Structure 1
Amino acid sequence: MSEHAIEVRDLTKVFGGNRLLFGGRRHKVVAVDAVTLALHKGETLAVVGESGSGKSTLARMLVGLEQPTSGDMKIAGQDASTLRGQGARAFGKIVQYVFQDPVASLNPRKTIGQILETPLKLLNGHDAIRSRARMAELLDAVQMPPNTLTRYPHEFSGGQAQRIAIARALAAEAEVLILDEPVSALDVSVQAQVLLLLQELKQTFGLSYLFISHDLAVVEAVADRVAVMRAGRLVEEAPVGTLFSNPADPYTVQLLASAPRLKN
């Protein structure tokens, strides 16, 4: 079996460049440019870079929301093109996406119970009885009370909504979570609580995390390894301690120098 939860080679995503109806071509943007990267099972790999560096586009390809222009991608040892051929459910049973804005990511017209029940039934085939039992387990895991199930997303704070969004990802019983700026929309005090919860869930469920972030202080606290992106390209990759103490690329040096919250 593969030791990698995710493995990509020369992964590229190009937007535009196609011909217009009356001649000419759309402007071409290379959002992700020949990135080769691996997420090991059981680790947290942080992907950092400025806005527009391509890190979120990379994440969207890894979860199947965007199709690569070229390159190879394996998810839990399986070829991504094969998974795409099997439909969105095949991706969903292996990898799940936790969005930056937790409230916006939850359907406002559905109760939390209905939101959690959907992946349990569609992805895992649970009946109503098993779904209710599993929802209770998930709420306990993310430290939310049982009456959460009958309430709607707008009734919760940002931190509570993110816990629910994490529970939804866990409901799919996925092996990998793509965490796209999961605490950037939260108050600082709540950030720490959610980050601690993520660490606990990682150990409990044997998860692997790909953690997208611009906050280097958060990355330093949670990551095992760090990959640095600039203008769509991977410029440096190293264990978190090595990267923060001895960055090799000048761009990484600039990123670290511009992060006032980092420890001395």
Structure 2
Amino acid sequence: MSANAIVVKDLVKTFGGKRTLFGGTSHAVHAVRGVSFDLKQNETLAIVGESGSGKSTIARMLVGLETPTSGTMEIGGEDAAALRAKGSRIFGRMVQYVFQDPVASLNPRKTINDILDIPLKLLREYPREKRQARKRELLDAVQMPADTLERYPHEFSGGQAQRIAIARALAAEAKIMVLDEPVSALDVSVQAQVLLLLDDLKREFDLSYLFISHDLAVVESVSDRVAVMYLGEMVELDTAAKLFHSPSHDYTRELIASAPRLESAAS
């Protein structure tokens, strides 16, 4: 892997703006406008902004759920489009995605044993006997009991389900995780537990996190650097300490001033 886990240059995503059946042009929505940034190895880079700012669109483009209109993305020193062209197995070994709604992200018809089996079998090609041992290791890493394997997603709380979703991402052994609002659907007390777990896993597995969030209290507590999105543009990017104590952009100052619980989270 290169010195940077992710490098994004001049990324643009436009929805619409195409010719319609009757010869007109549909309205174009410029979701992301020329965004550039990098995620360093073993770093947590947070991307923050209000709903509609483009932060989740960036996350979805990085993992192949959306196609960029223009610009380039590198993952682990390789062009993201070229990686995807090599197949989902190669791409999935490089980067994994953790969704906002943990229960909805898990197949309700499959046991946790089956859910964890898929990345181990398809992405890592582990033999059957090794897969079972590895599943127990993954559950232990996210602090879930071994009997979790025989149960279904609906049997777990939101926090437990998110731990399982994180274990599924870890199963691919990717070094980069895109975390899209990973604790926003959880109670505040559970949020703290999951954030501490993510911090422990980052050190244990040598991970790099792209952390998408609208919650500045959470972002201040977990991030090395913070990028601020506004109407599809990245208006500020700095270390968390500098950005929260001396922001340079008016929009960033407004966000910080309006953020609830910011002082208590920092203490």
Query: Is the partner of 1:263 in helix, strand or coil?
Result: helix
Deviates more, 1:83-92 or 1:59-68: 83-92
Equivalent AA in structure 2 for residue 253 of structure 1:
R
Residue in structure 1 matched with residue 59 of structure 2 by the alignment: 59
Residue in structure 2 matched with residue 179 of structure 1 by the alignment: 179
Q: Percent identity?
A: 68
Contact 1:138–1:170 under 8 Å retained in 2: yes
> By how many angstroms is 1:41 displaced?
0.3
Q: Note the 1:180-199 alignment, pairs <5 A.
A: 180-199=180-199
Deviations 1:146-196 (A, max 9, x none): 000000000000000000000000001011010011001001110000000
Q: Does 1:126 align with 2:126?
A: yes
Deviates more, 1:201-210 or 1:24-33: 24-33
* Residue ranges of structure 2 left out of the alignment (5+ in a row): none
> By how many angstroms is 1:90 displaced?
2.4
Query: Is the partner of 1:8 in helix, strand or coil?
Result: strand
> By how many angstroms is 1:260 displaced?
2.3
Residue in structure 2 matched with residue 80 of structure 1 by the alignment: 80
> By how many angstroms is 1:127 displaced?
1.2
Q: Note the 1:163-178 alignment, pairs <5 A.
A: 163-178=163-178
Residue in structure 2 matched with residue 227 of structure 1 by the alignment: 227
Deviations 1:16-50 (A, max 9, x none): 11111121011111111110000000000000000
2: CA distance, partners of 1:231 / 1:89: 34
1: CA distance, partners of 2:120 / 2:220: 34
2: CA distance, partners of 1:29 / 1:225: 28
1: CA distance, partners of 2:194 / 2:108: 22
Deviations 1:191-237 (A, max 9, x none): 00000000000000000000000110000100000000001100000
Deviations 1:78-126 (A, max 9, x none): 1112112112322211110000000000000000000000000000101
TM-score by length of 2: 0.97
2: CA distance, partners of 1:22 / 1:90: 42
Equivalent AA in structure 1 for residue 20 of structure 2:
L
Residue in structure 1 matched with residue 217 of structure 2 by the alignment: 217
Query: Is the partner of 2:24 in helix, strand or coil?
Result: coil
Deviations 1:42-94 (A, max 9, x none): 00000000000000000001111111110011000011121121123222111
2: CA distance, partners of 1:24 / 1:183: 42
Residue in structure 1 matched with residue 22 of structure 2 by the alignment: 22
2: CA distance, partners of 1:95 / 1:103: 21
Residue in structure 1 matched with residue 205 of structure 2 by the alignment: 205
* Residue ranges of structure 1 left out of the alignment (5+ in a row): none
2: CA distance, partners of 1:91 / 1:223: 25
1: CA distance, partners of 2:87 / 2:42: 26
User: What is the Cα-based RMSD across aligned positions, in Å?
Assistant: 0.8
Query: Is the partner of 1:84 in helix, strand or coil?
Result: helix
Aligned pair count?
Answer: 264
1: CA distance, partners of 2:97 / 2:41: 17
Query: Is the partner of 2:51 in helix, strand or coil?
Result: coil
Contact 1:225–1:240 under 8 Å retained in 2: yes
TM-score by length of 1: 0.99
1: CA distance, partners of 2:248 / 2:155: 46
Query: Is the partner of 1:50 in helix, strand or coil?
Result: coil
Q: Does 1:260 align with 2:244?
A: no
Residue in structure 2 matched with residue 239 of structure 1 by the alignment: 239
Residue in structure 1 matched with residue 106 of structure 2 by the alignment: 106
Q: Does 1:161 align with 2:138?
A: no
Deviates more, 1:108-117 or 1:75-84: 75-84
